[in-house]
Amino acid sequence: MTVAGIVSALIVGLIIGVLGRLVAPGKQSIPIWLTIVIGIIAAFIGTAIARGLGYADTNGIDWLEILTQVVLAAIGVSIAAGAYGRRGVTR
């Protein structure tokens, strides 16, 4: 993977993660680095799902692929916010 590929993956991960965070219900008190990581993972998994189902390579913008990625990011952000929120001090 080239430097340009890594930078573009980070940018796409940030965008997908932020969109997923906006779509996820409730307050998400997770750090931005975790949002980016979730976005990158959701982008890779969403692309794999889109390719597997045959709608990844269409003419123009692949709206279904982006929608799949954002939904996966929203699910990931919700799960991470729930797990991250429980890390408080217990008595």
Confidence of residue 71 (pLDDT cuts 50, 70, 90): very high
- Owner of token pair 């573009």: 8
The pLDDT, as a whole number, for residue 90 is 54
Q: Cα(12)–Cα(34) distance, rounded to whole angstroms?
A: 14
Residue of 37, 46, 35 lying closest to 71 (CA atoms): 46
- Owner of token pair 């952000």: 77
For range 40-53, the mean pLDDT = 88
The pLDDT, as a whole number, for residue 3 is 80
Residues 27-46 have pLDDT tens digits of 788 888 888 889 889 888 88
pLDDT at 18 over 70: yes
pLDDT at 70 over 70: yes
Q: Cα(83)–Cα(78) distance, rounded to whole angstroms?
A: 9
